[in-house]
Structure 1
């Protein structure tokens, strides 16, 4: 079975040549030293707005044989922690297979369940794949959608993912797909985003979660970020680096109501 792309031609070009040309504008050159990332945060908006951040981040980290991509469940459909292992995923750049051995190990979790329904309309995982295909032609991945929950669930899911990765002996990067503040003036968005990004850079999951909730910061993927942070710390992460930050206003010129995008590597 195959999952066909749902936002090709809208969030990114729908044909191979145009898509490769578009991504080529956003990725960094081959000369830079790559980060040995355990986890990262990558945006999931249309490439016109967030492609520069996603490209800077994903070209700054070392390629992997497998990626675990944690997406925001925007639709609310399906399981709250839903892993799709039944289908290959298709983009204009080709087909990406599932790392079934690692997926089966993750599904031993008490909170992560097998699910396709949450993935059918969801774009947050799909938009990461063309960048990975452009930068790393031979890899497998595991897609997991995450809905809002509580810290204990995020911590458990992160520990379960970390345990499966350790047992696999594979070198894996965990990508949390998220945008940051939504539809606020540029100055307000930048201030709010700096406040929560600070806690990601501190590897302080509880502090990040607390600031998102207390200050009503509209980080749509705070749940995937929390799970990624919990897993990364369990896998030994000690450092984090902000690779790039910008808002939609930096590309559209409209600073009245922007969306924030951050590319962060954890290692």
Structure 2
């Protein structure tokens, strides 16, 4: 059992408080299920990024399995690690899709729980999924290596596993955008990076990140999600919501950017 590492920090520890907080994130967010293959969602504390995340989760179809890709902030574990444990949150347990994990070619994705033990980027997504859906499984993948070659290979492995299993899959990339820059600078930079995501241009995305020395923490998961969904037939990317931490706090001197993006057929 993978125990919660950041409950009481990024989101409430108490079940009822957590339900109220997630519900608050969905206020005034339209719920329209679309044929979504993949998405980009933030992973900050709910008070900061919950609204951007809710825009994505409100649009997701009811899938049997959610493949979750997140950056490795802790440095523990294998370079690219998949967890096969059941994950616990204050809302209950969520099981891993063991059939899907067995279907992964495992050329670069290794089964390793160490990388996941203290990592928050995937954990914070689960209460949103639990709030929206009743019966689903997860494939949590943590990426310590995020270079373009690695991201492409991770995307290819996931796509191959999708073709082997007979179920609806949605790929979620967990990432925040610009970190600790003035609000105006963060918005300008993030618009520049997001443009390449909306164009589904993976090489261009990496070029733009390098050109502006980006602090986008989950760029590898974003690229791997793009690689997977393009292989699976994604034709359109849409930005549903963008905000910064300044929108929540009023402090625009040093913000973090958050984007909710979906990939559709």
TM bracket, shorter-chain basis:
over 0.9
Identify the residue that residue 40 of structure 1 maps to in structure 2: 39
Looking at structure 1, the residues matched to 120 and 32 of structure 2 have their Cα atoms a distance apart, in angstroms, of 30
Can you give the 5+ residue segments of structure 1 that lack an aligned partner in the other structure? none
Looking at structure 2, the residues matched to 182 and 171 of structure 1 have their Cα atoms a distance apart, in angstroms, of 34
Match of 1:95 among 93, 108, 123: 93
Describe the shift of the 1:28–1:172 C-alpha distance in structure 2 as closer, same or farther (beyond 3 A): farther
How far off is 1:32 after superposition? 3.6
Helix, strand or coil for the counterpart of 1:264?
strand
Match of 1:188 among 185, 188, 194: 185
Helix, strand or coil for the counterpart of 2:9?
coil
Identify the residue that residue 231 of structure 1 maps to in structure 2: 228
Q: How does 1:140-155 map to 2 (within 5 A)?
A: 140-155=137-152
CA contact (8 A) 1:28 1:59 kept: no
Identify the residue that residue 83 of structure 2 maps to in structure 1: 84
Q: How does 1:37-186 map to 2 (within 5 A)?
A: 37-85=36-84, 87-106=85-104, 108-186=105-183
Q: RMSD between aligned alpha carbons?
A: 1.2
Describe the shift of the 1:252–1:30 C-alpha distance in structure 2 as closer, same or farther (beyond 3 A): closer
Match of 1:198 among 175, 195, 199: 195
Aligned residue pairs: how many? 264
TM-score (norm 2): 0.97
Helix, strand or coil for the counterpart of 1:21?
helix
Looking at structure 2, the residues matched to 232 and 164 of structure 1 have their Cα atoms a distance apart, in angstroms, of 13
CA contact (8 A) 1:82 1:144 kept: yes
Looking at structure 2, the residues matched to 91 and 31 of structure 1 have their Cα atoms a distance apart, in angstroms, of 26
Give CA-to-partner distance per residue, 1:166-207, whole Å, 9 cap, x none: 211211100000000000000000000000000000011111
CA contact (8 A) 2:146 2:221 kept: no
CA contact (8 A) 2:55 2:260 kept: yes
Looking at structure 1, the residues matched to 146 and 116 of structure 2 have their Cα atoms a distance apart, in angstroms, of 18
Structure 1 stretches of 4+ moved >6 Å? none
TM-score (norm 1): 0.96
Looking at structure 2, the residues matched to 260 and 206 of structure 1 have their Cα atoms a distance apart, in angstroms, of 22
Looking at structure 1, the residues matched to 92 and 42 of structure 2 have their Cα atoms a distance apart, in angstroms, of 21
Give CA-to-partner distance per residue, 1:138-186, whole Å, 9 cap, x none: 1100100002343222111101101111211211100000000000000
Looking at structure 1, the residues matched to 37 and 199 of structure 2 have their Cα atoms a distance apart, in angstroms, of 15
Looking at structure 2, the residues matched to 32 and 261 of structure 1 have their Cα atoms a distance apart, in angstroms, of 20
Helix, strand or coil for the counterpart of 1:123?
coil
Can you give the 5+ residue segments of structure 2 that lack an aligned partner in the other structure? none
